[in-house]
Amino acid sequence: MTQAAVPSVLQLVQANSLPGLVQAEIEQLILRGELAIGQRINESDLALRFGMSRGPIREALRGLEESRLVRSEKNRGVFVREVSVGEADEIYDVREALDQLIGQRVAERATPEQLRDMQAAVAAMDDATDVNKVVAAIFAANMCSAKENKHEHYLAEYESFLSLLEARDERARAAAAEGKADAFTQIGR
């Protein structure tokens, strides 16, 4: 895949408004958790942090309020907005539909070179993600539960399964991926 050139500060400022850049930076602070859910956002602190007046900060916060990342309360200030479980479900439903539509459009319009680049990116992501660690964490939690409840036979099964996962046994990974309840018997000891 070709790598895009990183724009200079001058190019960023020429292509974007200052409040737009500040809005993007505040959004990143929220997404990284540096500004916590429910936290009051202090314009003066942000202006000091970014080395600018409060005007662009105010304008950026108005933009974030329009995109519903923050909420403004009269005479109280601006706060990082909390997303309800129901709203989060709706967002994921919309994203799922959009992902499907995007996938269909890419499948229809992608060139062979673009498809190879996407396949390489997916392969790199697969290499970067260790599925065994996720599965091992789930099984570790179940092992703790088995120990607390004195279910020694389950504990032995979990430990056997974990050792196979740690050895990167493909049969164990396949059984775990398929969600087989009797995965232990599928892979043997």
Answer whether residue 10 shows pLDDT above 50. yes
SS3 (DSSP) at 34: coil
The DSSP secondary structure of 87-152, one letter per residue, reads HHHHHHHHHHHHHHHHHHHHHHH--HHHHHHHHHHHHHHHHH--HHHHHHHHHHHHHHHHHHTT-H
The mean per-residue pLDDT over the stretch 116-120 comes to 80
Task: Please name every residue paired with 72 in a beta bridge, in sequence order, or none if there are none.
Answer: 78
pTM of the prediction? Answer: 0.47
Least confident residue range of 70-74, 78-82, 145-149, 185-189 = 185-189
pLDDT value of position 65: 94
SS3 (DSSP) at 43: helix
SS3 (DSSP) at 182: coil
pLDDT value of position 184: 42
The mean per-residue pLDDT over the stretch 3-11 comes to 67
Answer whether residue 152 shows pLDDT above 70. no
Smallest Cα–Cα separation from 162: which of 142, 145, 179, 147? 142
CA angle 71, 48, 66 (to 5 degrees): 20
Give me the CATH topology for the region 9-80. Answer: Arc Repressor Mutant, subunit A (1.10.10)
The mean per-residue pLDDT over the stretch 139-152 comes to 54
Answer whether residue 136 shows pLDDT above 60. no
pLDDT, tens digit, for every residue of 58-113? 999 999 999 889 999 999 999 999 888 888 788 888 888 888 888 788 778 878 88
Task: Give me the residue spans of the domains in the chain.
Answer: 9-80, 85-128, 131-187
- Amino acid type, 99: D
Average per-residue pLDDT for the chain:
74
